[in-house]
Structure 1
C-alpha cells in the first residue's frame, strides 16, 4: 500500500478517536473542540491569504472577534457569539472594501466563526445533540470516503475541473448515495421508523459537505497552495480535514433553525430534536 495512504489512514483514525471522544463527552469538551477548529481555520485561512501583510487591520479585527466569539461559545452564549461574528465580519470587510480589494479577513472570520458556532450548537448538551452530531459525522465521513475511492476507481467526467481536477461526477454521486445511506442508518438506529424527511436532509448535508470540499479547493487554488498547512501528517491542515464537516454542520444548523416554530439559536438539543424529527 502507498506509504502516503498508510500515513493518511493512521492520522485519520487518531483524529476520529479524538473527535468521537470529545463528541461523546459533550459539554465543555466538545465546545473546546469546536473553538479549536474555528481558531485553526482562521489561522490557516489568514496564513494562506497572507492577511497579516495585505490587510493588517482587517486581520486584527478578525483575530479579536475569533477570540471573543470563542470565549462566548465556551460559556454557551451562542446569541452573543453570532452577533460578534457578524459585526466583526462587517468591520473587518470595511478596510479592504474601502481600498477596493477582496475582503479575505472578513471571509476568514465568517468561515471560521460560523463553523465553530454551528458545530457547538448542533452538539448541544444532551443525548439528542450527541445523536445529531453522529448523524452529521456519518453523512460527511461516508460521503468523503466513497467519493474518494469511487471517483478514483470509476473515473469519468470531471465535477469541477477548474477548481479540483481530481473530483469526478461518479465520485460525487456515489458519495452522496453513501452519505444518504449512512444518515438513514444512524437515524434508524436512534429511532426505528424515523422521519420521512431524513433521507432528504441527509442528501442536503451530503451535498453541502461536497460543496465545502470544493470551496476549500477553490481557496487553495486561488492562493496557489497545495495544503492549508502541515499540522496533520498525511492530510495537510485542519481546513483540509474539516472542509466538508463545517459546511454540513452549518447546513444542519440552518435546516433545524428554519423549521416551523423553531429558533435559530434555540439551543443544541432543540435543534437536534428538530433535525432528527424527535
Structure 2
C-alpha cells in the first residue's frame, strides 16, 4: 500500500469517526461541526475565487458574516442565522451591483452560510433529526458510490463533458436509483414503512447532490485548481468532500422552509417534511 493511499484511508476514517460521532450526539456537538464546515467552506471558496486578493474589503465583510452565523449556531439560539445570511448576501449583492465587488462574494456568503445553517437545522437535537441526517447521508453516499461504479462499468454519453469529463449519464442514473433504494431501506428500517413520498424526496436529494458535485467542479475548472484546498491529507479540501452533501442539505432545508411558509406551519421540522410526518 502506497503512503498516499494509507494517508487517504486514515484521513477518511478520522473524518467519518468525527462526523458520525457528532451526528449521533446532536445538539452543540453537531452545531460545532456545522459551524466549522461553514467557516472552512468559505475559506476555500474565497481562496479559489481569489476574493482576498481582488476584493479584500468585501472579503473581510463576508468573513464577518460567516463568523457571526457560526457563532450564532454554536452560542446563540440559531434564530439570527437566516437573517444574518439574507442581510449579508443582500448587502454583498448591492456592493457588487455598484461595481465594488465580485459576484463570487455574495455567492460565497450564501454557499458557506447555508452549508452551516442547513446542516445544523436538519440534525437539531432530537431523534427525528438524527434519522433525517442519516437519511441524507445514506442518499448522498449511495449516489456517490454507485454513480462511480455504474459509470465505470457501463460508460456511455457524458453528463457534462465541459465541467466534469469523467461523469456519465449512466452513472448519474445508477446513482439516483441506488439513492432511492438506500432512502427506502432506511425508512423501512426505522419506520417499517415504504412510501412514494420518501422515494420522491430521495430522488430530489440525489439529483441535488449530483448538482452540487458539478457546481464545485465548475468553480475549480473556472479558476484552474485541482482541489478546493489541501486541508484534508490525501483528499484535498472540505468542499471536495461535502459538495454533494451540502447541496442535498440545501434542498431539504429550503423545501422545508417553502412548505412551512405555504402551510403556515412555521415550526415544521426538516425531519417531519422529509418523511411526510
What is the TM-score of this pair, normalised by structure 2?
0.93
2:158 alignment partner in structure 1 = 158
- The verdict on how the C-alpha distance between 1:263 and 1:106 changes in structure 2, with shifts beyond 3 A counting, is farther
Superposition deviation, residue 16 in structure 1: 1.6
Gaps of 5+ in 1: none
C-alpha distance in 2 between matches for 1:155 and 1:224: 26
| CA offsets 1:180-234 (integer angstroms, 9 cap, x no match) | 1111111111101243300000000000000000000001111110000011122
- Say if 1:137 and 1:245, in contact at 8 Å, map to a contact too: yes
Superposition deviation, residue 11 in structure 1: 2.7
C-alpha distance in 1 between matches for 2:149 and 2:76: 39
2:119 alignment partner in structure 1 = 119
C-alpha distance in 2 between matches for 1:157 and 1:248: 25
Gaps of 5+ in 2: none
- Say if 1:194 and 1:277, in contact at 8 Å, map to a contact too: no
Q: Name the stretch that deviates more: 238-247 or 78-87.
A: 78-87
RMSD between aligned residues? 1.9
1:99 alignment partner in structure 2 = 99
1:34 alignment partner in structure 2 = 34
Q: Name the stretch that deviates more: 210-219 or 147-156.
A: 147-156
2:202 alignment partner in structure 1 = 202
- Say if 1:256 and 1:262, in contact at 8 Å, map to a contact too: no
1:12 alignment partner in structure 2 = 12
Structure 1 residue ranges (4+ consecutive) displaced by more than 6 angstroms after TM superposition: none
| CA offsets 1:51-100 (integer angstroms, 9 cap, x no match) | 01111121111000001111111135333111111111122233333227
C-alpha distance in 2 between matches for 1:16 and 1:276: 25
- The verdict on how the C-alpha distance between 1:227 and 1:104 changes in structure 2, with shifts beyond 3 A counting, is same
2:273 alignment partner in structure 1 = 274
- The verdict on how the C-alpha distance between 1:188 and 1:159 changes in structure 2, with shifts beyond 3 A counting, is same
1:261 alignment partner in structure 2 = 263
What is the TM-score of this pair, normalised by structure 1?
0.93
| CA offsets 1:212-269 (integer angstroms, 9 cap, x no match) | 00000001111110000011122210000000000001111122333363656x36xx
1:240 aligns with 2:206: no
SS in 2 for 1:45: helix
Number of corresponding residues: 275
SS in 1 for 2:68: helix
Q: Name the stretch that deviates more: 71-80 or 102-111.
A: 71-80
